[in-house]
Amino acid sequence: MKTTFACVGALALAVAYGGVAVPAPVPPLPKETPQTELAKLAGKWKIVSRVQAGEEAVAGKDRLPEAILVFGKEGGFRWGNSTSDSGKIVRMDPTKNPKEIDYEFGGPVGEGTRKGVIQKGLYKFDGNKFIDCCSKPGGERPTEFKSTPENGYEIMTAQRVQEKD
């Protein structure tokens, strides 16, 4: 009789506390939207490397001059200490794999003008780095992060500049 009572008691305790052992539901990860991606991108970025048509240039080692790219909260971007935007991000799609980005240039860049021309690309964040792979302006979107002499794509790697307090 004592054994039966002990077993029933143990079973009652197990049932009573069994629900405590079940882990709480894990909340879903925040959904990536163009707005959340723009917020991650906003700020200053130092260009640390560029691969153009398969040829890499690393800042401080090769012919790549030091360059700072500044992204605004609304997607506008400018180079260095310029006060006017060079262009803007007109589309970001973080639901694609790889993620897609489209830039539109707003004025003269290098020789001639590319005003209104769309440059299609891919992008990703890797810790405090932003990496994009873009076609030539007006070209087809890359399908992977790969730059060769044949495709002429450019892969740019930028590292976030930490603001001083």
Residue 4 has pLDDT above 70, yes or no: no
Give the pLDDT band of residue 17 (cuts 50, 70, 90).
Answer: low
pTM value?
0.75
DSSP string of the chain, one letter each residue? -HHHHHHHHHHHHHHHHHGGGSPPPPPPPPPP-HHHHHHHH-EEEEEEEEEETTEEEETTTSS----EEEE-TTSEEEETT-SS-SEEEEEEETTSSSEEEEEEE-SB-SSSB-TT-EEEEEEEEETTEEEEEE-STTSPPPSSS---TTT--EEEEEEEPPPP-
Going from the N-terminus, what domains does the chain have, and what CATH number goes with each?
30-160 (2.40.128)
pLDDT, tens only, 40-80: 999 999 999 999 999 888 777 776 777 899 999 999 999 88
